[in-house]
Each structure stands twice: as structure tokens, then as C-alpha cells.
Chain A
Amino acid sequence: MSKVLVVTSGKGGVGKTTTSAAISSGLAMAGKKTVVIDFDVGLRNLDLIMGVERRVVYDIVNVIQGEAGLNQALIRHKEVDNLYVLPASQTKDKDALTEEGVGKVLNDLREEGFDYIVCDSPAGIERGAQLAMYYADEAIVVSNPEISSVRDSDRMLGILASKSRRAKDGETAIKEHLLITRYAPERVGTGEMLSVEDMLEILAVPLLGVIPESNAVLQASNAGRPVILDENTDAGQAYHDAVGRLLGDELPMRFIETEKKGFLGRLFGRS
């Protein structure tokens, strides 16, 4: 049974693509046959974050329009077994994606035996974002501890609950997960950043994980290597935990407390 998982947020720049890359890699590393699809037609970037940009030949629009077969468009990740990337088109207009076309691609991927189909949503609530979440079984809503991001996450939760295929067909609702990214515990400690508890109270969605603000994320995207592959980094480990929870493990949240500093460190330290 394949599961369709959408990574969404409403707001741009909160870490959807970073998360899609990390979560899909983590699922594949856990032995699940996984494909990650870029739904941002016209502004594709997942290929860069996954480090496969030079191997893109065909994209999802080519597949929908019958110009290429699914297996011609799927890019196998060289470093991670069981992991495939389906890129977005860079040039064609956004209307190229249709509900019917996306439904067919997802069905074909199911028949190919994929365990997880991860849909990387574009920002906004337009067509691309609607189609990315339409067929989802589960949703990861990515949110920064920042006021506009939390508001947009709430809007997106409303859309998931009312406009998805599951909502329209009257099936059980999409299973929602909250993933907080760019979290800075020391700023929460000084009262200048919303805390995990604040966000959970406002959004009322089960917490999948907390990814700390980390240099490792920029370094990973510079290198085109999903951050979860850097097992020595805080962000990599936090994503690893999130994947574990997605697969049913119960793991304590890490990286949400301020590191304890000595007296001198507190006086003179720069965090």
C-alpha cells in the first residue's frame, strides 16, 4: 500500500523543499521505496536540493502530456537506494498540471510499488499547491515560529480539511503532522520567538518534529545533498527523528532546549 504524503505550508521560504528532500531520503534509508515529486511548475528547485539537476531530462508535465514514460522521467538517486525524484517542468505554464493527470501519475507510481510518494508543494494556495495536496493521505505542514508562517499554516490546515479528495469523497480526513523548522531555543528563552508549546496550542496538530535553525541546512543545499545525510548535524538528526516518528517510533524531542552555558559563557558568549 503506497502512501501519498504532501509537504506544504502556504508561506514560502519556510523549508518545504528542504523538508521534502530530507524526509524522502530518510524514508528511503529506512528501506521504503520512495519517490519525491516537485509540484512547483515553472520554479523547480527540488532537483537542486537533491543534487540531481544535471540529470533532469523529462519532467512530470512531459509524463502527463504523454511525451515521456514515467520511467524515463524518474531520476534514481545515486547515493540513496530506493529513492527517486520526479522533477517539475521549468518552462511550461502552470495549467499543464491537471487533477486527472496528477491522479494518473500517482496511480502509476502506486503500481510501480512505491511505498511513499512525497509531494513537495509550491508556496501559496494556487493550482500547484492544491494539486500537491489533493490526493494526499498524510500531510506535513511546515511552519516557522513566526507570526505570518503560523497564520498561513492554519489556512493550509483549513484547505486540507475541506478541499482534498478525502474531504470531497467523505473519507477519513488527511492525517496531519506539524513540523516546526528554523527553531532557535535561545530566542524562545528570551521571549522573542514563539515556543513549540505556543504553536501547538494555536494550531492544535500533532507534532512530528522540531528542526533547529542550523548552518547545516545551507551547507546541504549548497552541496545538493539532503541534510539528513549529514548524520553529525543537529538538523540532520532532527529530521532523522521526524522520519522515525512518521514510521511510528516514539522518540523524545531534541534540540528544543537551550544549551547550558557556564557563567562566563553567558556573559561573553555569542550564540
Chain B
Amino acid sequence: MGLLDIFRSRSQEPSAKMAKERLQILIAHERGQGQERTPHYLPEMQKEILEVIRKYVHVEDDAVKFEVEHNEQFELFELNITLPEKGEGRERSD
């Protein structure tokens, strides 16, 4: 490091820190993709859950949403059911 560099390096934010942050975000994202980590049983399970719900409530196909998220330590399975508004489709509510 020369005399000039001492002044120069003070005025800049260390770029390695930026590199690390960008990499951490990118890699967490890419690890989720590309490696086919969606469970193979998902479509079948999705169908069956929909059938079970329909025993009690009438819902459309798109009222049930599935999502699998990958985190560093765990996988998150998210199931969202949108129920119809009151009186609309509650066939067996009694």
C-alpha cells in the first residue's frame, strides 16, 4: 500500500462486503432451484387433499394452493385454502 492508497481506501466502502452479501442472497436462491428438490409425491398429495376438502366444502380447483420453500436449515411446506364466503357453497355445514 502506497501513500496515496491510504487516502483512497478510506473514502470507499469495502467491496468484499458487497460481494459477500450479493453471493449469500444469490446462492440461497439458486440452491432452491435447479436441484429438483420438490418432493415427487406433491402432485398426488395435492389431489388427495383437494378431495378431502371437497367432502365438506365446495371449493374450486384453484382455491387450494401449495408451495414448497427451501431454507438453509429446513423446508417449508405451505398449504393455503380459500374458503367460499358464507352461504355460498357450504353444502354440509349442518
- Tell me the A residues contacting B by CB distance below 8 Å: 146-147, 150-151, 154-155, 158, 161-162, 186, 188, 190-195, 198, 201-202, 266-271
Within 8 A of A (CB), among B1-37: 1-3, 5-6, 9, 13-17, 19-20, 22-24, 26-27, 30-31, 34-36
Contact B17 A186 (CB under 8 A): no
The 29 sampled A-B contact pairs (Cβ below 8 Å) are A146-B19, A147-B19, A150-B23, A151-B23, A151-B26, A151-B27, A151-B30, A154-B27, A161-B35, A162-B35, A162-B36, A188-B16, A190-B1, A190-B5, A190-B14, A191-B13, A191-B14, A191-B15, A191-B16, A192-B14, A193-B16, A194-B20, A198-B19, A201-B20, A202-B20, A202-B27, A266-B1, A267-B6, A268-B3
Contact B2 A270 (CB under 8 A): yes
* Chain B interface residue number, banded: 20 to 34
Contact A191 B34 (CB under 8 A): no
| B36 / chain A contacts, CB cutoff of 8 Å | 162
**A interface: dominant SS:** helix
- Tell me the B residues contacting A by CB distance below 8 Å: 1-3, 5-6, 9, 13-17, 19-20, 22-24, 26-27, 30-31, 34-36
Given A154-B31, A193-B16, A201-B20, 16 additional A-B pairs, CB 8 A: A146-B19, A150-B23, A154-B27, A154-B30, A155-B30, A158-B31, A186-B1, A192-B14, A194-B20, A198-B20, A202-B23, A202-B24, A266-B1, A267-B2, A267-B6, A268-B2
| Distance between Cα atoms of A162 and B31 in the complex (Å) | 12
| Distance between Cα atoms of A158 and B15 in the complex (Å) | 27
**CB-contact partner of A269 in B1, B22, B30, B31, under 8 A:** B1
| Distance between Cα atoms of A147 and B24 in the complex (Å) | 10
CB distance from B35 to the nearest CB of A (A): 5
CB distance from A167 to the nearest CB of B (A): 11
| A270 / chain B contacts, CB cutoff of 8 Å | 2
| Distance between Cα atoms of A270 and B13 in the complex (Å) | 22
Contact B27 A271 (CB under 8 A): no
CB distance from A263 to the nearest CB of B (A): 12
| B6 / chain A contacts, CB cutoff of 8 Å | 267
| B9 / chain A contacts, CB cutoff of 8 Å | 190-191
Whose C-beta in chain A lies nearest to the C-beta of B72?
A: A204
> Which A-B residue pairs are the 10 nearest by beta carbons?
A191-B14, A147-B19, A198-B20, A154-B27, A194-B16, A191-B16, A190-B9, A158-B35, A192-B15, A202-B23
| A269 / chain B contacts, CB cutoff of 8 Å | 1-2
| A190 / chain B contacts, CB cutoff of 8 Å | 1, 5, 9, 14
| A266 / chain B contacts, CB cutoff of 8 Å | 1
| Distance between Cα atoms of A267 and B36 in the complex (Å) | 54
| Distance between Cα atoms of A151 and B22 in the complex (Å) | 10
**CB-contact partner of B34 in A150, A151, A158, A188, under 8 A:** A158
CB distance from A123 to the nearest CB of B (A): 18
| Distance between Cα atoms of A23 and B14 in the complex (Å) | 34
CB distance from B36 to the nearest CB of A (A): 8
Whose C-beta in chain A lies nearest to the C-beta of B20?
A: A198
| A161 / chain B contacts, CB cutoff of 8 Å | 35
